[in-house]
Structure 1
């Protein structure tokens, strides 16, 4: 989607909701965030005893009249900005909702596959908090929740790498050019909620199939991904687990190693293993106090590439999140091996060394 189309879509949503503001109040909010980090793999970080930076400014709005509603969020980072989501929805009845616009892809653990600010490795491969332009339907029938989506294409197309989560895209890494675009993707998630006293268990499975279009050669590849996932909670304790198999089977134009593929997100472009498995295991404990609440957690995820010559990528995060009124804080300690932007430069490829890279991180957010 072009910058002009994004702007027009965002403006149209604002105009629509403004026309109905008399009947239903337009809810406008957002957040301002700052981030402190200390990284043992960065000499400059160690020399300066860490870095404190502006993280982002986000603006959200929503409105609803009768059974029709709209929601959107726009984010501003250092040097770039983008629409995270923006869609209209219709509550057909109390069980069925349909939506269209920049929507969330129903795949993997319901909500998030992590508790920390950095997310899990699923996020960087396009399987956590991922969005695209399309239509979706959600049907709740007792304990069963069925979700379908047709994603026409990435929010910003193939060449603009501002999409929020990992997206197969066009670009060049170390002299290798990739010309792929995600298109015409079908995604589905089926989950069941089981309750026994305070114990709540959500079990589910997800499936995704889509087109990978090579714009330079006019040829197609495809992607086939599936996952089984579990979310459990009891007396403040939480357990998340997921097994995910992915396969980005791109067209081999003779200029690439088909075991690697290029992905873009958050204004960056990088290589990952084109086929592999992702394992996720998270444990958390939520504690509520008179002044707010906090959640202790340990999140673990691993990318296991399908090629024997490549190396696994591992990320373990131990941390706590604090919520007090409009203030939310993440305090995280990351230990990573062969992980993009955490001492490494890829996911699931050959690692430069066998070291564990470490980062201490505090993210401050004020919501308004």
Structure 2
């Protein structure tokens, strides 16, 4: 009797195992790799107050950027990549982002590669085509090489990351970081290394969805001349609210850079670069930004929505004698099917991209500077 029971039990186990395998096999067999390809083609018109020749000819209209996006997934592992091609004067072609990720569950995942640095309001601390002043000092939509852990809960979100360095395009022993990149990083005789980031978000409210958070950043600055390690750090407190068609973003940042430069080299400025062009940035500063937008749904042929916005930022430089920088962009985003058009009036004071001398507007600046402005229309087809 015992032997018979044992045989029956064994037979049921085998049958259940075979049945389980057969039931599972079709699911595995149906799992196929996913691949999505997208991109955009953009053109740009601009008319700048500080360019006399351009004003006489009524502005310039030309090529802005072509990009390819790829998203892939298979067995819980996924890929996200974006390659952009600008004109040679703006750095040519480079990878904006490119990382491999893995979902541990519905709430937790990990990214490895060239991934967005978890700092401040994301994805953008702005609504306009120019971004906000935070972008031009490497603290908005920055991407570096490293590993990032993300947790997205109902009430809380947090991200922890370690970045070995900024995106590296030159692998020589003492080569400077290439300025041909999408996001602003330290360049010149210093290199960003071994950076740690932490970001925490508390979410509350239903009709008025709010995101209150803090961000921390600390990393090394390796000097190619002295071969010594300096450091840099930043802290941000940020709040974003969405209520109906309205959105608001408010943020405070304090940042400090302490390079170990060679004798005679200044330590109150650092070099940063993107789009093929380096400039100076004040080593220590506070930054305040406020952005607001409102969506207005319309039915004008292909036009379905108008998003009106105003984005403002103020850079308070801590070094004695340095003149502060300001930026304000007022505009509207016109959505028409796959075509998105930004119409912006961007004004800047001691701003490298808005009428300054470019090299030192974000560092010592000019106490006698005046506000300059650029009227800009960016037309993009996104697919």
Q: TM-score, normalised by structure 1?
A: 0.90
Alignment pair present for 1:64 and 2:55: no
Report the counterpart of residue 158 of structure 2 in structure 1: 146
Report the counterpart of residue 196 of structure 2 in structure 1: 186
Unaligned regions of 5+ residues in structure 1, if any?
A: 1-19, 171-178
Aligned mate of 1:131, from 127, 143, 164 = 143
Once the two structures are superposed, the pairs formed by residues 1-368 of structure 1 within 5 Å of their partners are: 23-79=32-88, 80-156=92-168, 158-170=176-188, 179-196=189-206, 198-290=207-299, 291-344=303-356, 345=358, 346-351=361-366, 353-368=368-383
Question: How far did 1:255 drift?
Answer: 2.8
Unaligned regions of 5+ residues in structure 2, if any?
A: 1-28, 170-175
Report the counterpart of residue 12 of structure 1 in structure 2: none
User: In the TM superposition, what whole-angstrom CA distance separates every residue of 1:48-102 from its partner, at most 9, and x where no partner exists?
Assistant: 2111110000000111123111010000000111001111100101111011011
Q: TM-score, normalised by structure 2?
A: 0.86
Question: How far did 1:352 drift?
Answer: 6.3
**C-alpha contact 2:34 2:74 (8 A) present in aligned 1:** no
Length, aligned pairs only = 340
Distance in 1, matches of 2:379 and 2:154, equals 38
**C-alpha contact 1:156 1:163 (8 A) present in aligned 2:** no
Question: Compared with structure 1, are the counterparts of its residues 222 and 354 closer, same or farther at alpha carbon in structure 2 (3 Å cutoff)?
Answer: same
Distance in 2, matches of 1:156 and 1:119, equals 24
Report the counterpart of residue 23 of structure 2 in structure 1: none
2:379 aligned counterpart, secondary structure = strand
User: In the TM superposition, what whole-angstrom CA distance separates every residue of 1:159-194 from its partner, at most 9, and x where no partner exists?
Assistant: 311221210111xxxxxxxx1000110011100111
User: In the TM superposition, what whole-angstrom CA distance separates every residue of 1:21-50 from its partner, at most 9, and x where no partner exists?
Assistant: 991341001000000000011112112211
Question: How far did 1:112 drift?
Answer: 0.6
**C-alpha contact 1:303 1:348 (8 A) present in aligned 2:** no
Distance in 1, matches of 2:142 and 2:30, equals 30
Distance in 1, matches of 2:112 and 2:334, equals 34
Question: How far did 1:348 drift?
Answer: 4.0
1:46 aligned counterpart, secondary structure = helix
1:115 aligned counterpart, secondary structure = coil
Question: How far did 1:238 drift?
Answer: 1.1
Distance in 2, matches of 1:185 and 1:25, equals 33
1:279 aligned counterpart, secondary structure = strand
Higher strand share: 1
1:347 aligned counterpart, secondary structure = coil
User: In the TM superposition, what whole-angstrom CA distance separates every residue of 1:303-325 from its partner, at most 9, and x where no partner exists?
Assistant: 11001300110001000001111
**RMSD value over aligned CA atoms?**
1.6
Question: How far did 1:206 drift?
Answer: 0.2
Distance in 1, matches of 2:30 and 2:350, equals 50
